[in-house]
């Protein structure tokens, strides 16, 4: 790919408007013109040589262009400490650091974990399936644990178990803030219980960690928000801005009963884009390339489960055709894995800014990788090479590209009977730069030639694609397996003029410093992040253009892509990390309440 022309407006190269060619025919003018051209040529040559000198040091080139110590694409907000509420914050900061508060925090989260609020994919509606009833004791516990929240905030229950708390501010003209979390947890596989260090619903505290399902996903977020609000109320804080807490109850089962039912209620109450911003569960912070980075999720990939179904004539297996439905399906699945989605990466992708931040601030990033990332901001050739490098990194590629995973397969009922049908489920996570339509079109085209080769009547997503030659030997059908396909989420604005992102970034930095008694701006670097999965915010897109999927959970010295038993055995959270999470929500509420820019 050819290198893109570099457009510079800071005086290093002459612009078209600055190049004047005199048209006077006099000798003097001709001489001036000649000298002028020589000067221009010299300036271009000098600047070109100057650029070539930096060609192998893109960091230096970036510094020249921006006059900043780090790339302009990763400009950082300053730590944002509450000012109007400064005295209250100083008091609460000291309180959160106390041993008494730690004991209270352990009790809050441990007891929440002890109630097994599991949600399952196959649950019938609320009121029909008795498994929903586990949320009754959980909500009784919340009432007992957070009495001031329940007596101060207005509570609306949606679809029985969805909880919307409204903390009304004194200035209704200010846009409210929505803090979301979910009450449910991923079920524990019974065969794995003996592999847990402590029983999965024990809420055991070993003096350092709280163990159990939900401790890290997402009862820590839910209890963290409630603990922050309870603490603020107990210290006589009364908000100027309205705050709304929204707690769904089936996020782990796509949120169809919880958040999907709650969103219309919130939309009716506050209107489209009625919230200044939304915070839901998501990434935290950890060490990446030798530097602490926080990566609030500003986007989510789309989603579709594609049902790939083949039908053919049955019969006795002693007289088989050349290809059974299972054999044909196998060929289709081989085709999928032979031709994965190609990676498309450009400068508008949210992860481009993430990589720029890693390159600008990652102390231990290999020099060649750093130079390549920074050069990619101005060079198409470097961007092409970076894309190729990402293609070989499964973790980065999974964040950017549309992915596919064959997760389920079924066919046949007896060893001596030809299977009349067979199907598989192919899961796609759709790239932010793509769409449902693009994904469906690609899958449709992928299997078109095979449908013809096997003489199948081919229907894809409701359209007739190939009619089998008469007589057709069977059918191939592609469709949305569970009717819950989802477009990629809108991307949250993260510019220097986007007040929600700046406030959110400044709060992250202030929390990190406060929890460690640090001073300075760059102890933690905030970079826009990307979620590989989806949260309850899929139902909340119409409520605000600014959505942050972030829990301020400390990943410690692990990388940001590692987790602490989430969705598997031995889930836990360190008590220090949980206390810092509560601190974060306290500062966020105070900062949001006194902001005049939101």
Query: Which residues are identified as catalytic?
Result: 184, 251
Q: Is 94 helix (H, G, I), strand (E, B) or coil?
A: helix
How many CA atoms lie less than 13 Å away from 493 in the CB half-sphere? 12
Beta carbons within 10 angstroms of residue 207's beta carbon? 6
CA dist 536 and 543 (Å) reads 12
Q: What residues contact 196, with CB distance under 8 A and at least 6 apart?
A: 211, 569, 570
DSSP 8-state secondary structure symbol assigned to residue 530: E
Q: For the chain, how far is it from start to end, CA to CA, in angstroms? A: 42
| 204 annotated among ligand-binding-site residues | no
CB within 8 A of 570, min separation 6: which ones? 195, 196, 197, 211
Token pair listed for 169: 């501010």
Whether 522 has a binding-site annotation, put simply, is no
447-to-257, 310, 393, 520 alpha-carbon distances in Å: 35, 12, 27, 56
Secondary structure, 3-state, 162-177: EEEEEECCCCCCCCCE
Strand 417-418 relative to strand 525-526, pairing: unpaired
CA 195 vs. chain centroid, Å, equals 30
Asked if 529 contacts 295 with a C-beta cutoff of 8 angstroms, the reply is yes
- Report yes or no: 419 and 324 within 8 Å, Cβ to Cβ: yes
Closest CA to 241 of 315, 155, 177: 177
Residue 572: strand pairing partners: 211
Rounded to 5°, the CA angle 337-342-348 comes to 145
Q: What is the token pair recorded at 389? A: 């490098």
List C-alpha distances in Å: 555 to 300, 348, 552: 21, 28, 9
- DSSP summary character for residue 73: G
Which residue is it, tokens 């992040």? Answer: 529
* Residue 217 marked in a binding site: yes
| Tokens 């759709």 -> residue | 430
Binding residues: 182, 217, 252, 280, 567
Binding residues for Zn(2+): 182, 217, 252, 280, 567
């Amino acid at each position: 790919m050819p290198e893109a022309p570099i457009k510079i407006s800071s005086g290093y190269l002459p612009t078209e408007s600055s190049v004047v060619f005199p048209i006077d025919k006099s000798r003097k003018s001709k001489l001036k013109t000649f000298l002028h051209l020589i000067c221009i040529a010299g300036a271009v040559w000098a600047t070109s040589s100057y650029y070539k000198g930096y060609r192998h040091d893109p960091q230096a080139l970036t510094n020249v262009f921006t006059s900043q110590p780090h790339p302009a694409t990763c400009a950082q907000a300053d730590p944002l400490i509450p000012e109007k509420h400064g005295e209250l914050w100083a008091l609460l900061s000291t309180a959160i650091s106390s041993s008494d508060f730690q004991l209270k925090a352990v009790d809050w989260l441990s007891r929440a974990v002890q109630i097994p609020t599991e949600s399952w994919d196959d649950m019938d509606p609320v009121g029909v399936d008795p498994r929903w009833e586990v949320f009754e004791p959980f909500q009784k516990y919340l009432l007992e644990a957070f009495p001031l929240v329940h007596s101060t905030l207005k509570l609306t229950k949606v679809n029985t178990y969805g909880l919307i708390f409204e903390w009304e501010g004194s200035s209704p003209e200010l846009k409210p803030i929505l803090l979301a979390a979910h009450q449910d947890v991923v079920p524990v596989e019974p065969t794995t219980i003996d592999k847990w260090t402590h029983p999965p619903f024990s809420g055991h505290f070993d003096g350092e960690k709280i163990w159990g399902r939900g401790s890290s996903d997402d009862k820590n977020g839910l209890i963290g928000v409630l603990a922050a609000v309870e603490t603020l109320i107990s210290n006589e804080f009364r908000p100027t801005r309205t705050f709304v807490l929204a707690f769904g109850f089936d996020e782990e089962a796509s949120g169809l009963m919880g958040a999907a039912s709650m969103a219309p209620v919130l939309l009716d109450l506050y209107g489209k884009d009625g919230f200044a911003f939304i915070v839901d569960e998501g990434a935290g912070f950890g060490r990446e390339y030798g530097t602490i980075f926080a990566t609030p999720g500003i986007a989510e990939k789309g989603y579709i489960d594609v049902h790939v179904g083949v039908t053919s004539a049955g019969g006795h297996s002693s007289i088989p055709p050349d290809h059974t439905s299972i054999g044909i399906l196998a060929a289709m699945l081989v085709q999928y894995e032979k031709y994965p989605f190609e990676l498309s990466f450009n400068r508008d992708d949210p992860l481009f800014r993430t990589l720029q931040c890693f390159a600008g601030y990652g102390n231990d990033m290999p020099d060649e990788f750093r130079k390549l990332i920074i050069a990619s901001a101005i060079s198409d050739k470097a961007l092409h090479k970076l894309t190729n490098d990402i293609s070989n990194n499964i973790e980065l590629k999974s964040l950017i590209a549309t992915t596919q995973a064959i997760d389920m397969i079924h066919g046949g009922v007896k060893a001596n009977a030809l299977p009349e049908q067979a199907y598989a489920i192919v899961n796609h996570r759709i790239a932010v730069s793509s769409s449902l339509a693009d994904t469906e079109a690609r899958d449709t085209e992928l299997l078109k030639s095979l449908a013809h080769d096997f003489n199948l009547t081919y229907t894809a997503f409701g359209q007739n694609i190939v009619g089998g030659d008469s007589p057709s030997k069977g059918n191939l059908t592609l469709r949305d397996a569970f009717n819950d396909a989802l477009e990629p989420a809108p991307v949250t604005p993260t510019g220097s003029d986007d007040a929600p992102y700046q406030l959110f970034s400044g709060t992250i930095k202030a929390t990190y410093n406060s929890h460690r008694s640090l001073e300075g701006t760059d102890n933690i670097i905030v970079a826009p992040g990307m979620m590989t999965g989806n949260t309850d915010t899929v139902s909340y897109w119409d409520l605000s253009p600014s959505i942050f999927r972030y829990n301020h959970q400390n990943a410690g010295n692990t990388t940001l892509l590692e987790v602490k038993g989430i969705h598997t055995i031995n889930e836990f959270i360190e008590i220090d990390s949980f206390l810092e999470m509560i601190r974060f929500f306290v500062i966020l509420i105070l900062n949001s309440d006194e902001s005049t820019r939101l």
